[in-house]
Amino acid sequence: MLQLWFKYSVISASELTNKLNDAIQKCVSTNSEYVCKTCYSSLKNKRIPKCSVANKMSFPNMPSNFSDITPVEWRLVSPRLIFQKLQEAPRGKQLKINGNVVNVPADVAHTASILPRMINDTNTIKMQLKRRLSYKHSVSSENIRSLRVLQIAEWLINNCELYKQ
């Protein structure tokens, strides 16, 4: 799986070619340059890593026309809403989680049914996501395109296992 890693947290895939076994042949492709240390230890012990493509842990290739999707539009078609506070780490400028993480299941079918049906009447809708309906302040607020949200939902239903149900 393609991810961003620091150089010290990965091992060259060429080191695995000397120790060929079934797990390595299933997981490491010829164009792989590096393997993370967690996957390396699993492969060395002749086990397939939990987060490998061989375990069907890959993301579907998104169409190029979905590059303009806003974060709130993605959250509307997400099966789970995650509320977390992210801060920038002092070194490396990476984001880190601060505090608790709230994971709320969402009903995508219900969300799609609430969106206005006459899309020609409303091109954009002001959307505010709150942790609870009783709260005054929203976590995020954006204008969303209801037609775009429906297009994303249709594509996910047709191409992603998580949305088949």
Q: What is the mean pLDDT of the chain?
A: 76
Under 8 Å between Cβ of 15 and 36:
no
Q: Which amino acid is at 53?
A: V
Please count the CA atoms within 13 angstroms of the CA of 130 that sit on its side-chain side.
7
At residue 132, the 3 state secondary structure works out as coil
Cα 19 to Cα 33: distance, rounded to the nearest angstrom: 16
Cα 52 to Cα 71: distance, rounded to the nearest angstrom: 26
Nearest to 69 by CA among 165, 155, 130: 155
More confident residue, 44 or 5: 44
pTM of the model: 0.52
CA distances from 47 to 27, 56, 102 (A): 10, 15, 33
Cα 53 to Cα 79: distance, rounded to the nearest angstrom: 22
Mean pLDDT (whole number) for 91-103? 82
Under 8 Å between Cβ of 89 and 96:
yes
**Helix ranges restricted to H, 18-132:** 22-27, 37-44, 71-76, 108-114
Range of weakest confidence among 10-19, 29-38, 118-127: 118-127
Q: What is the pLDDT of residues 111-138, one digit of tens each?
A: 667 665 555 555 777 888 777 778 888 8
| Tokens (6 digits) for 104 | 């709320």
18 confidence band (pLDDT: 50, 70, 90):
low
Mean pLDDT (whole number) for 30-42? 76
Q: What is the pLDDT of residues 148-164, one digit of tens each?
A: 888 888 888 888 777 77
